[in-house]
Structure 1
Amino acid sequence: MAGAPSCSVIVVGGGISGLVAARSLVVEHGVPAEQVTLLEASERVGGVLHRREIAGNPVDVGAESVLTTRPEATALLAELGLDGELRRPTGVPASVWTRGALHPVPRGTLMGIPGDPSGLAGLLTPAEVERADDRGREHTPVTGDLSLGELVEERLGAAVVDRLLEPLLGGVYAGQARRLSARACLPRVHEAASAGASLTATVAELTAGTGGTQASPRAATDGAPRPAPPFASLPGGLARLPEEIAEDLARRGVDLRLGVPAEALEQTAGGWVVTTGAGERLEAERVVVALPAPAAARLLALASPAAAEQLAGIETASMAVVTWAYETAALPALERSGFLVPPVDGRAIKAATFTAAKWGPVGDGTASYLRASLGRAGDAAVLDHGDDELAALALADVREAVALLEGAPSLPEPVATHVQRWDDALPQYAVGHVERIAAVRAAVAGLPGLELAGSAYDGVGIPACIGTARAAAAALVAGGTMAP
C-alpha cells in the first residue's frame, strides 16, 4: 500500500479488543502485517468468547450473543463475510423468576427501568406499579454521578430495583445496581435525570420502536407486532468471531503468539520493550495494551504508575456458566427462552437459558442445551463450591423454575455437564468510573506510542470493545493518544 506507515507494533491481549486492534492496524491503517505481533497469555484467542464441544456440538460457554443495534460489531461481521450467517433469537420470550412465579420480561424497559409501568402488573404489586411511574412529578436534577440503584429507587421505588434492575444488570455486568454508575452504564438516562426529566418518559422515548431490553419479535398480547431482537449469534457459537479474526490475521502475516504472557512494559528511547513470561525482551515502536483491568494494571506498573493505580482500583466480578446437554427427544417443551433471577430471591443462579427455545436447534438437533450463570460482584461465595456441587446447585434451581411452566414439566438427567469459570471477567463500572477512566487516559497521554483498549473503558459489550480497539489503532498510527 502506497504511503503505508512502517512501524513495529506489539498488541498485548488476544481477546476481541486485541484482535480487532491488530486487524485495524493492518487493514484500515496499512501497517505491514509482518510488523505487528500479538501476544496472548493463554493457548487460545477470544477471552470470554469461548466455545467447547459438549455432546458432539461446539457450544458457547462464555458470551453467546452480540448487540446488533450498534454498528461496530455488525460492520466487523460484514468485513469478515459473516453477516449472512447471523442467527437471531426465535422470539420465544424470557421471564423473570421472582415471588414464586415466572413473569414475562416487560416490554419497553431499559435495563429494567420501565417506560410503561402498566406492563409490570403481576411482577410488582399494584402499589409498586403505581410508584414506578414518575411522570407528572417534579424532580430535582441530579448533580454528579450516582448509582443506578440509588437513582431508580428514589424515582421509581425499591421494587423496580430489586425485581427488574438487579437481574438485568446482573446479566450484563454481573454487578449490583446500588454500586454501578448511572453515568457510565446508562449515560442517556443519567443525562435526562441531570436535567430533571422523568425516567419513565425518557425510557419510553429511548425504547420506542425497539421493545427495549429482552424484546421479543412475537406478537404482543394486544396484537401489536414486536420488533426484531437486538441480539444475534453465529452458527457454531459466537466464539467463531475471534477465531475467524485470528485466522484472518494469520493469513495476512501477523505474528500471533499464544501462550506468551507479557510480564513487563518499559519505555525506551526508541519506543517500548515488552518482557514476556519466558524472559524474552521484545522491542516495538508502539504498543496496544488490550488486557482486562487487573492485568493491564500490572503491566503498566513501571510505564505509568498513575494509570496502573487507577486501573487496579476497578473492581471485577467473577462468574461461572454451567451448561447441560440433553437428548432432545427426552426434553419437555419449554415455552420460555430462559429466565432472570433477582438476587433478592436468594437463588444460587442469576439466569438460565433454554438454548433450543432461544436460538433453535443446535447441529443436527439430536442434542439440546440449557445453561445457567452464577456469581456477581460482592456476592461470589457460591463460586467457592467445586464444579460438581456448583452444577448440582444450579440444576436444582433450574428444575424448580421449569416445574413452574405450563404442565409442570420435569427435566430428565443430562447426558453431559460442563462448568466454565470466568475469574475477574467483568469490570465493575462503579460510581465515578467515567472520571477514573479519564484519569487513566490522562496518565498515558504523555507516553507516545502507547494506547489502551478493552472492556474496562467505554462499555463491557462486544461493540464497545471493538470501538475502543479501533480508536486505539487509529490513535496509535496518528501518533496521538485516546486522552480527551
Structure 2
Amino acid sequence: MSRPWRVAVVGGGIAGLAAAVRLRDRAPAGTEITVYEQSGALGGKLRTGELAGQPVEFGAESFLMRDPAGGESAAVTLIRRLGLAERIVHPTVGQAALAVDGGLRPVPGGTLVGVPGDLERVATVARPAADADRDGGRPLLGPDEDVAVGTLVRARLGDEVVDRLVDPMLGGVYAGRADDLSLVTTMPALARAARVEHTLTGAVRAAQAAAPRAPGAPVFGTLAGGLSTLVEAAATASGATVRLHAAVRELTPTAEGWRLTVGPTRAPELVEADAVVLALPARPAARLLAPVTSEVATTIGGLDYASVALVTLALPDPELPALSGFLVPVTEGLLIKASTFFTIKWGHLARPDGIALVRASVGRYGDETSLHLADPDLVATVHRELSGVLGVALPAPLASHVQRWGGALPQYAPGHGDRVAAARTALRAAHPTLVLAGAGLDGVGIPVCVRSGETAAGEIIEALGGSGS
C-alpha cells in the first residue's frame, strides 16, 4: 500500500483510545487514525465530574495495579506511556465491610472475589456447609469446562457463602448474580486452578500463589485529578482525529477495505478506511456486523447487560466508619448494592472543611425497577438506607449527583469465552481488517479494556502487513 494507512476506531471509550495509542506507536509513520464517538465526550465509563467543588468519579473509580500473572497491569503500563505515572495514588483505607444482619462486618481476608481459601476466616460472616469442600479425588473442573460461579461455590461450600460473600463481591463489580456469571470470564485464575485442584479452598490458595503480591503492595490505584486525565492524555498521544457526535450507522466491505456511513440519515457522510476497530458495546457492534457476517453478529449480540445508577452525596461532617465502603448482599433487601466513602478511601480527596463524598451504586441485573425512580427519590432512598446501615442519622446532603449508566455492565454467561473466541476466529477468516475490542467481549475493568484495545490494534497492524510488535 503506497499511501498511508487509514484506520477507523469506532468507539471512544478506553478500549478504543488504547487501540489508537497502540496504532500510533507501532503502525507506520503517517498512519491516519480517526476515532468516532457517538456521544459528546470520550472516555466511556471513565468520567470525572465535580460535586461540592471537588473532583469525583461518576464512573469507574480505580484500576488494578497488577495483572493476573503478577506483573504490571496494562492500565499502569499505558499510564506510564502517557507520562502520568507520578499522578498514581492509592487507597489510604483498604478495609471494606459487608452489610449483613443489619450491621457492618469487615470483609474477611484470604478470599478471591469472596471465595474463601480458609473457611475459618469467613465464619464471622458466612457459615460454610457442614460437609464443605471434601476432596472428591479429581479436579473440580474438566479441561474445557465453564460453570457459573454460584453453581460451583454452592456445591462446594453452601448457600450462605455465596449469598453473603461471593454474590455481593461479584455484584459490586458486575451488577450481576453469582448464579449467572461465568467462572472462566469473571475469575479466570480460579478457573485455571480448579482444573487441577480437588477442593475449592485449595484452588483459591493455588490461584493466589500463582500471582503473588508483595506484602503491603497496593492492589488498586487511581489518578490525582481524576481518570478523565487518562482519557485526555490518551486522545492526545494517539494523534488521532477525534469525531464526537459521530455515530457510525453502517459498515460496508469494499475492494480496498471498508466504507463507514457516519452521521444522521438525512445527511450521511461516507468515509473510506483500510481497517476498522469496533470498540463498542456488544449490541451496537452486532448491529454494524449484521450485514457483514450475520453469524458473528448473532453471537456478539446475544450478550446481555445490566444498568446501574451511581448516586453521590456531599455530606457535611458525617459520622463515617474508618472503611473504604461496604457491599450489600441481595438478602438484606436494600436498594443499595455497594457504597464507597470516597474521602476516606482516597486520602488525597480528604477535605479540611469536613465535607465527605459518599457514593452508592444502585441496580442489579434482572431487578432494575429501582432505576425507574426519579433522581430526587433515588437520592432520598440512598440517604435513608446509608443512615440505616451505619446506624446514625446522616446530615442532609449539601449537594448530590445521579449518574445513570444504561446497559453498562456486561453479563457473562458460562461459555462466554468460547463463544467470543469462535466469533473472532470466524471474523478474522472472513474479514481480517475488522477487529473487535471492549468490555463486552474481554471483561470489565480498565486494565482488561486497555489490553483488549491494544490487542485489536496489533491484529490490525498484522492484517495490513506490519509486524504489530
Same fold (TM over 0.5): yes
Residue 139 and residue 388 in structure 1: after superposition, are their counterparts in 2 closer, same or farther (change >3 A)?
Answer: farther
Residue 312 and residue 111 in structure 1: after superposition, are their counterparts in 2 closer, same or farther (change >3 A)?
Answer: same
Whether the 8 Å contact between 2:115 and 2:166 is mirrored in structure 1 is yes
Q: CA deviation at 1:28?
A: 2.6
Distance in 1 separating the partners of 2:22 and 2:348: 34
Partner of 2:109: 107
1:331-362 Cα deviation digits (max 9, x unpaired): 22422211000112111010001111111142
Q: CA deviation at 1:370?
A: 0.1
Which of 16, 26, 37 aligns to 2:14? It is: 16
Q: CA deviation at 1:300?
A: 1.2
Q: Secondary structure at the match of 1:256?
A: strand
Distance in 2 separating the partners of 1:379 and 1:227: 38
1:132-177 Cα deviation digits (max 9, x unpaired): 5x26554564342211100110011111110111011011111111
1:455-484 Cα deviation digits (max 9, x unpaired): 122221111111111111111011179xxx
Indicate the percent of aligned positions where both proteins have the same amino acid. Answer: 41
Whether the 8 Å contact between 1:131 and 1:157 is mirrored in structure 2 is no
Partner of 2:90: 88
Partner of 1:467: 451
Q: Does 1:181 align with 2:182?
A: yes
Q: Secondary structure at the match of 2:442?
A: coil
Distance in 2 separating the partners of 1:30 and 1:388: 52
**5+ residue gaps, structure 2:** 68-72
Residue 299 and residue 460 in structure 1: after superposition, are their counterparts in 2 closer, same or farther (change >3 A)?
Answer: same
Residue 305 and residue 137 in structure 1: after superposition, are their counterparts in 2 closer, same or farther (change >3 A)?
Answer: closer
Q: Secondary structure at the match of 2:286?
A: helix
Q: CA deviation at 1:326?
A: 2.2
Q: Secondary structure at the match of 1:233?
A: strand
More displaced stretch, 98-107 vs 8-17: 98-107
Q: Does 1:37 align with 2:21?
A: no
Partner of 2:419: 436
Whether the 8 Å contact between 1:117 and 1:129 is mirrored in structure 2 is no
Q: Secondary structure at the match of 1:350?
A: strand
Number of equivalences: 453
Q: CA deviation at 1:229?
A: 3.3
Which of 363, 375, 380 aligns to 1:387? It is: 375
**5+ residue gaps, structure 1:** 213-224, 404-408
Whether the 8 Å contact between 2:383 and 2:394 is mirrored in structure 1 is no
Which of 436, 449, 454 aligns to 1:452? It is: 436
Distance in 2 separating the partners of 1:282 and 1:200: 54
The equivalences for 1:44-59 within 5 A come to 44-59=41-56
Q: CA deviation at 1:311?
A: 1.2
Distance in 1 separating the partners of 2:3 and 2:414: 40
Q: Secondary structure at the match of 1:95?
A: strand
1:74-115 Cα deviation digits (max 9, x unpaired): 110111111121110013411010122211111111011001
Q: CA deviation at 1:450?
A: 0.7
Distance in 2 separating the partners of 1:314 and 1:190: 21
Partner of 1:372: 360
Distance in 1 separating the partners of 2:123 and 2:62: 29
Partner of 1:397: 385
1:411-467 Cα deviation digits (max 9, x unpaired): 111110100000111111111201210232023111031111101222211111111
Distance in 2 separating the partners of 1:105 and 1:4: 59
Q: Does 1:357 align with 2:344?
A: yes
Distance in 2 separating the partners of 1:138 and 1:393: 50
1:252-305 Cα deviation digits (max 9, x unpaired): 3x2111111111111011110111123111110111100011111112121221
Residue 310 and residue 318 in structure 1: after superposition, are their counterparts in 2 closer, same or farther (change >3 A)?
Answer: same
Report the residue type matching 1:13 in the other structure.
G
Partner of 1:171: 172
Q: Secondary structure at the match of 2:439?
A: coil
Q: CA deviation at 1:199?
A: 1.3
Q: Does 1:266 align with 2:252?
A: yes
Which of 260, 278, 281 aligns to 1:289? It is: 278
TM-score w.r.t. the length of structure 1 is 0.89
Partner of 2:25: 27
Report the residue type matching 1:338 in the other structure.
G
Residue 246 and residue 393 in structure 1: after superposition, are their counterparts in 2 closer, same or farther (change >3 A)?
Answer: same
Distance in 2 separating the partners of 1:312 and 1:84: 40
Partner of 2:154: 153
Report the residue type matching 2:338 in the other structure.
A
RMSD of Structure 2 on Structure 1 (CA):
2.3
Whether the 8 Å contact between 2:90 and 2:220 is mirrored in structure 1 is yes
Whether the 8 Å contact between 2:16 and 2:279 is mirrored in structure 1 is yes
Q: CA deviation at 1:183?
A: 1.9
Whether the 8 Å contact between 2:320 and 2:390 is mirrored in structure 1 is no
Whether the 8 Å contact between 2:35 and 2:243 is mirrored in structure 1 is yes
Partner of 1:336: 323
Q: CA deviation at 1:243?
A: 2.0
Report the residue type matching 1:372 in the other structure.
A
Distance in 2 separating the partners of 1:211 and 1:415: 43
